[in-house]
Amino acid sequence: MKAVIGTPIGSVIIYVKNDKITKIRLTFQKEGWAARQKNKDFPSLDGWSARQKNKDFPSLNGSAARQKNKDFPSLDGWAAGRRGANKNENYYNSKTKKHFDIIYAYLYGDLQKIPKEIFDFPGETAFAKKVYETLYNTKKGSVITYQELASKAGNPKSYRAVGNLMKNNPLPIIIPCHRVIKSDGSIGKFSPSIKWKKYLLDLER
């Protein structure tokens, strides 16, 4: 089963099995991006560029600010309505409602972390599990470099391996690989799309 959250730049597809999220896929739609560019009711990606110049990375204050700012989506807004837009069980039903609502609250609400009981934690080796665990425990609104993540996972020289783990992360958003940047402060790569990475970082401002 799966649930789909529509966003201004694409879809968040949540795959659910045995009441747990097993995979998340981010799709990019040029049409959605163009529409967002014309629609001022969605978060702007301009913030990332501004932060790069000011060295002012996202903070935890952003979430509270968004709740007061009606220019950002809320649980009562357009995307909440997306749930009922398609009655097909592959999009939203009683078995996926919980997962949809939690991911949505994490993206656009005050939820700071996805509870572990609703997803299968990834990682096939002890190092991979440690990397994903460390990243999972980073604060919403923060960033970390590949090298810092490797060090915290116990192997400072394995930053390239960390990059591969980010590339193959089955649970983007839950294991927030969009928060991992290069040591020089540049945004780095992101498998779904750099626009997705900027979008997610800006949501956490």
> What are the catalytic residues?
177
Q: Which of 78, 97, 85 has its CA nearest to residue 21?
A: 97
CB-neighbour burial class of residue 111 (10 A; exposed 0-12, middle 13-18, buried 19+): middle
- Tell me the C-alpha to C-alpha distance, in Å, between residue 8 and each of 32, 160, 197: 5, 32, 13
Say how far apart CA 27 and CA 9 lie, in whole Å: 8
**What's the rounded Cα separation, in Å, for the pair 81 and 6?**
10
List Cα–Cα distances, 44 to 26, 50, 71, 97, 115, in angstroms: 18, 11, 10, 28, 28
β-strand partners of 181: 145
What's the CA angle centered on 131, arms 127 and 135, to 5 degrees? Answer: 170
